[in-house]
Each structure stands twice: as C-alpha cells, then as structure tokens.
Amino acid sequence: MKHKILLFLTALGLAFGLSACSFGDFMSYLYGSENAAKDAPAYVQYDGANGVSVIYDTSVWEAPTEPQPDTVSLMCGTSFNYTAVLLQVTDTYTDFLAQSGAELAEETTAAVEEPMDFTVPDAAVKAVGYDCGGYQAVFAEITYDSGLTVYVSAMTHSAETDHIVSLLQGVFPTGQTPESAAALLTEDAAA
C-alpha cells in the first residue's frame, strides 16, 4: 500500500512539475485564492460616509465596510490568500508614507522597499510598496484636484499588487466620478 501512495504522490509531483504548476498553485486550487476562477466582473459603486466613493468588482472584492467613521475597508480572496485595503480620510498625518514605513519596520525586519508608480484619474499619487517576504504592503497618498486626500494602507498575501492598483484607480471623492470609473459602470450595465 505504501508503494502505491508513494507512486501516486510521485506522479502527482511530476505532473505539476511538467505543467509548470507549483505547490502553491495546487494549494490555491484546493483552498481557493483571489486568482482562482471567478464570476464575470460586476462593477458597482459604494459611497462611503467619509466622502470617498469606490467602484469595485463584486466578483473580486467583498462589499466595503466602514470600521471607523473616516475609513472604508475592502477585502478579497480567502484566508489562505487575501488582500485588505483601507481608504482613510484624516488630517492627522504629517508624512503618511514615512510614518507607515517606520511602523512596518518596527513589525518586521524583512521589509524591502520598492518604488511604485501608478496614476489615479484627477489626482496626484505618492506611493511605496514593501516586499515583506510572505506578504506585500502598499501605502499611498492620493490627493485629488478637489483637495481631498485619501490615505491607503493595503496588505496582500499575493505576490502581485496589480489588483490593489486597479481598485485605487476606481476611488474618487463622492460626487466626482472620473470618466474612467463611470465607464466601468456603464459597460457593466450594458452587459
């Protein structure tokens, strides 16, 4: 019996090796992940009480919540491979990126800073990413033409941060939907 189990595990390992799949891919398949097969994209708008609106894909992100009066929180994935994003509006930060980086450094010595460069419609963006080994961290300060500043704290167990950047490009001051975000809603309504 031992030989049959060993033979099965060897064959399974060889199959994954030849198909360019990793053990992580196999575990993601078993337990689910944000990269697993999803429903078709379905974009909806959420208007936070803090004056921040976000257009999000319901097939990727859970419905946003407001854990604090000045914060909108979004999560996606599973407990095995998840992402959490906080969108905060406050005037208490003197240098959000530096403060966030310093707090992260206190918690882990493995954080490697990585420059991030992305755009958000009608806004100036300052952002930094950190590779912390088992997870990625993203901190961003998004200042819109209207004067509203949104402070973003995001953590993901994914190796990529593209899904965070895509989400942030659909964040805007309530009542000032950028054309790119409105287009997502229009396309989804037409489908």
Residue 103's pLDDT is 86
Q: What is the DSSP letter of 12?
A: H
Residue 19 has pLDDT above 70, yes or no: no
pLDDT tens for 82-120 read 999 999 998 778 889 888 888 888 877 678 888 899 999
Interhelix angle 23-31/2-18, nearest 10 degrees: 100
Higher pLDDT, 55 or 18: 55
Q: Is 155 helix (H, G, I), strand (E, B) or coil?
A: strand
Higher pLDDT, 166 or 14: 166
Residue the block writes with tokens 């992305």: 118
Higher pLDDT, 177 or 141: 141
pLDDT tens for 129-160 read 998 888 899 999 999 999 999 999 999 998 88
d(CA 75, CA 155): 10
Based on its alpha-carbon atoms, the radius of gyration of the chain, rounded to whole angstroms, reads 20
Q: Please check whether residue 130 is in contact with residue 104, taking contact to mean a CB–CB distance below 8 angstroms.
A: yes
